[in-house]
Amino acid sequence: DAGITQSPRHKVTETGTPVTLRCHQTENHRYMYWYRQDPGHGLRLIHYSYGVKDTDKGEVSDGYSVSRSKTEDFLLTLESATSSQTSVYFCAISDGAGYNQPQHFGDGTRLSIL
């Protein structure tokens, strides 16, 4: 498996609190992605990065922000968590643009907002 580490793996928090999820890679891949996975919806792209400090919005970006200050780290922040953001969050990486290269996924973070 690709060297991708997501932290934390599980988190329970309360509505209105800030939450930051971390994705760390050791593959030196340029592209990094954050997805959420919900029953009946499959995988939906939240934000992605195509280089250090280069990020863009995905399909479901409202309520989320990201930062990438180093090639190896991609952070996803929920500024004020809501119950609708309860989900499993996956980070993925690819060596080239995602439409042309395989994406490799981390093990996921299960986030519960009470």
Q: For binding to another protein (CB under 8 A), which residues are involved?
A: 31, 33, 35, 40-45, 48, 50, 56, 58-59, 90, 92, 97-100, 102-108
Structure-token pair, residue 27: 């593959």
Q: Which is nearer to another protein, 10 or 18 (CB)?
A: 10
Shortest distance in whole angstroms from residue 50 CB to another protein:
6
Residue 87 corresponds to which amino acid? S
- The answer to whether 34 and 74 have CB atoms below 8 angstroms apart is yes
Structure-token pair, residue 1: 């498996």
- State the Cα–Cα distance between residues 74 and 84, nearest whole angstrom: 22
Shortest distance in whole angstroms from residue 76 CB to another protein:
16
Shortest distance in whole angstroms from residue 40 CB to another protein:
7
